[in-house]
Amino acid sequence: MANDRWAPALDQQARVAKRAAFEAARRGVKITGERMKNALTAVSNLTARQWRRASKVGPYIDHRLHKLSDARKRAVTYGLEWRVEREVAQLATGSDPLIVGPWLSEVGYEALYWVPFVRWVQATYHVDPARLIVVTRGGAAVWYRDITTRSVELFDVLPPAVYAERNAQRADDGGGTLKQWTISPLDEEIADEVRRRADAPRARLFHPSLMYRLFQQFMLGHRPSSFLLRRTRYRRIAIPDVALPPLPRDYVAVKFYTAASLPPTPSITRMLQSMVLALAEQRPVVMLDTGFALDDHEDYTFERASRIHTVRDMLRPEDNLAVQTAIIGRSSGFVGTCGSLAWLAPMLGIDTTAVLADARFLHGHLQVARQVFQTLGGGRFSPLDISTFDQLGLTIHANPSTMDGSPGGPSHP
């Protein structure tokens, strides 16, 4: 009976204990689940961070390798430039005569880079001018008169036709460029003849390849113009005193030739014709076309227009550049292809309009020209890009009565 009396109470306690145990177990499962969920979330977050970090390792390594590669390239470049400068110093500080040249490359590179480079070397190392023997062609030795008066005319060593043929072959052997990156057999042959003519058997070769190698990275666009300007010295050039053909008074000198920056397309040819005619309306024009086949450029000619004069029949290969220099130096302005004598004219104190249609080949040269001519105190230098004239419907108007006939296109020697 006693047991029956306490049975309900015990059942009630059992049920309460059972519910309590069940609740405790449920809470334990819930807590365990939450802990596992939190742990998984933490692992997931950790993995994501690690993955993000890992994903950055590849680009970081690539960046560091690229920087290392650039550093190695710079080290190689600096080493090559240092060796060239050391070679220049060894030649300049010696006592033997130096053959400066022979210059066989483009006229523009001689005027804008080679002459200022030689002037810098002479001034920096205090080279006795009597040691220097300039070898160039067409009377261009007049550009070096403030550096040295000793020179040998290249066309006295090789007839112009032979020179043109041999130099073209040299360019073909050198990969199709006139630039003198190395000393060629033609250079050596000319140097030997200069030694004989100058009675200087011990004369050493101060070759243009020194300049080309030193300024190679600038020419490729990898060096700023300041690198070049620290190793060149620009000066005004005196107008040479040479015999000139009869010239009109107060004329504009004009020299247009075909180039990568001014190709002989029909539209460009028409634009240049109109430009020359418009100039002729204002004052006489003296065309500096030569008709000589001495390099890979051809002159534009406008021979049958009134007030447009040509000195073509009065020029000789052996002094044509000296005569052209004097004609430009006595003019009231120069207009021509951007390159060649357009770099020279401002150094003569002549305002210059340099015409181009494709600036891709000229960016570095234009930068140097602008910087130099602004501080030189010479003529103003004004590039004129005519590439968009047709696209914009712009034309240069000229009076047809200025002409006696149709102007010619590019001359074909």
Segment 282-296, tens digit of pLDDT: 999 999 988 766 555
Q: Is residue 156 located within the same domain as residue 286?
A: no
Q: Is residue 258 located within the same domain as residue 219?
A: no
| pLDDT-wise least confident of 50-64, 312-326, 352-366 | 50-64
| Number of domains the chain is built from | 2
> What percentage of the chain has pLDDT greater than the value 90?
60
Residue whose C-alpha is closest to residue 239's, from 349, 378, 109, 115: 349
pLDDT of 13 above 60: no
Could you tell me if 77 and 221 are in contact, meaning their C-beta atoms sit under 8 angstroms apart?
A: no
Q: Is residue 205 located within the same domain as residue 270?
A: no
Asked if residue 63 is part of any domain, the answer here is no
Structure tokens at 355: 């015409």
Q: Is residue 223 located within the same domain as residue 308?
A: no
Average pLDDT over residues 200-206: 97
Start-to-end Cα distance in the chain: 143
Asked if residue 1 is part of any domain, the answer here is no
Where a domain ends, among 229, 263, 289? 229
- Which H helix or E strand runs over 115? helix 115-124
State the pLDDT at residue 395: 67
Q: Is residue 124 located within the same domain as residue 156?
A: yes
Could you tell me if 330 and 305 are in contact, meaning their C-beta atoms sit under 8 angstroms apart?
A: no
- The mean pLDDT value of the chain amounts to 84
Over residues 79-125, the pLDDT tens digits come to 889 999 999 999 999 999 999 999 999 999 999 999 999 999 999 99
Over residues 109-118, the pLDDT tens digits come to 999 999 999 9
State the pLDDT at residue 166: 95
Where a domain ends, among 171, 196, 229? 229
pTM of the predicted protein model: 0.80
Asked if residue 311 is part of any domain, the answer here is yes
pLDDT band of residue 413 (cuts 50, 70, 90) is very low
Q: Is residue 262 located within the same domain as residue 362?
A: yes
Asked if residue 375 is part of any domain, the answer here is yes
In the chain, how many H helices and how many E strands? 13, 10
Q: Is residue 147 located within the same domain as residue 258?
A: no
| pLDDT-wise least confident of 17-21, 222-226, 318-322, 400-404 | 400-404
State the pLDDT at residue 30: 72
Q: Is residue 166 located within the same domain as residue 297?
A: no
CATH value at residue 279: 3.40.50
Q: Is residue 288 located within the same domain as residue 357?
A: yes
| pLDDT-wise least confident of 102-116, 121-135, 213-227, 385-399 | 385-399
Q: Pairing relation of β-strands 285-287 and 252-255?
A: parallel
State the pLDDT at residue 205: 98
Q: Is residue 259 located within the same domain as residue 121?
A: no
Could you tell me if 308 and 285 are in contact, meaning their C-beta atoms sit under 8 angstroms apart?
A: yes
Asked if residue 367 is part of any domain, the answer here is yes
State the pLDDT at residue 44: 61
State the pLDDT at residue 180: 96
d(CA 324, CA 376): 21
Count CB atoms within 10 A of the CB of residue 362: 20
Over residues 169-181, the pLDDT tens digits come to 999 998 899 999 9
Where a domain ends, among 229, 264, 284? 229
Could you tell me if 276 and 254 are in contact, meaning their C-beta atoms sit under 8 angstroms apart?
A: yes
Q: 22 or 87, which is more confident? A: 87
Asked if residue 33 is part of any domain, the answer here is no
Structure tokens at 69: 């590669």
pLDDT band of residue 6 (cuts 50, 70, 90) is very low
d(CA 318, CA 156): 8
Q: Is residue 154 located within the same domain as residue 256?
A: no
Asked if residue 46 is part of any domain, the answer here is no
280 to 148, 216, 254, 284, 399: CA distances (angstroms): 39, 41, 11, 5, 9
Q: Where does 59-131 show beta strands of DSSP type E?
A: 98-100
DSSP per-residue letters across 116-163: HHHHHHHHHTT--GGGEEEEESTTGGGGGTTT-S-EEEHHHHS-HHHH
Average pLDDT over residues 310-325: 93
State the pLDDT at residue 409: 38
Q: 278 or 299, which is more confident? A: 278
Asked if residue 118 is part of any domain, the answer here is yes
Cα dihedral sign for 40, 41, 44, 46? negative
Is 373 exposed, middle or buried (CB count within 10 Å of its CB: 0-12, 13-18, 19+)? buried
> What percentage of the chain has pLDDT greater than the value 70?
75
Residue whose C-alpha is closest to residue 350's, from 370, 368, 335, 329: 329
Instruction: Give the rounded distance of the alpha carbon of 254 from its chain centre.
Output: 24
Q: Is residue 113 located within the same domain as residue 215?
A: yes
Average pLDDT over residues 244-249: 93
Tally of residues, the chain = 413
Range of the domain at 291: 252-402
